[in-house]
Amino acid sequence: MFARDLAPPYYAVIFSSQRAAAGDDDYEATAQRMADLAATMPGYLGIESARNTEGFGITVSYWKDEESIRQWKAHLEHGQAQARGKREWYQHYELRVARVDRAYAGPEGRSS
């Protein structure tokens, strides 16, 4: 659920999306498959995801470097899922690539 104990600097892909009203077919299965597939990619560090009851969601995947993100973006099966997402599943999305410079965890007082 949490991506824990990662040591900056590393990279985050922040994907915010609003699900379309229709088009539930295969969405959950594909989202789970993409999370499982991402976890097999070189440079993958973790993933966090939450979607509310109105269909607005944020998924953040964490990566060692920009090259890892490029490889994940270029993965064939991921590309096919992205195409379906654009066509069927998302009313709107924003995707941002960011470099994490510092991180803290709590409330236990751990930090990295």
Instruction: Tell me which stretch binds a second copy (CB under 8 A): 6-14, 23-31, 36-44.
Output: 6-14
| CB of 16 closer than 8 Å to CB of 67 | no
Token pair 């993100």 in the structure block, residue: 69
Q: Shortest gap between Cβ of 33 and a second copy (angstroms)?
A: 19
Q: Is 35 in the site for a second copy (CB under 8 A)?
A: no
7 binds a second copy (CB under 8 A): no
- Distances 6 to 13, 32, 35, 66 between C-alpha atoms, Å: 15, 22, 18, 16
Calculate Rg over the CA atoms of the chain: 15
Size of the site for a second copy (CB under 8 A): 40
Q: For a second copy, which is the closer residue by CB, 42 or 70?
A: 70
Of 26 and 92, which has the nearer Cβ to a second copy? 92
Q: Answer yes or no whether residue 70 interacts with a second copy by CB under 8 A.
A: no
The tokens of 8 are what?
A: 């900056």
Residue ranges that bind a second copy, judged by CB under 8 A: 1-4, 8, 12, 14, 16, 18, 48-53, 56-58, 60, 85-87, 90, 92-108
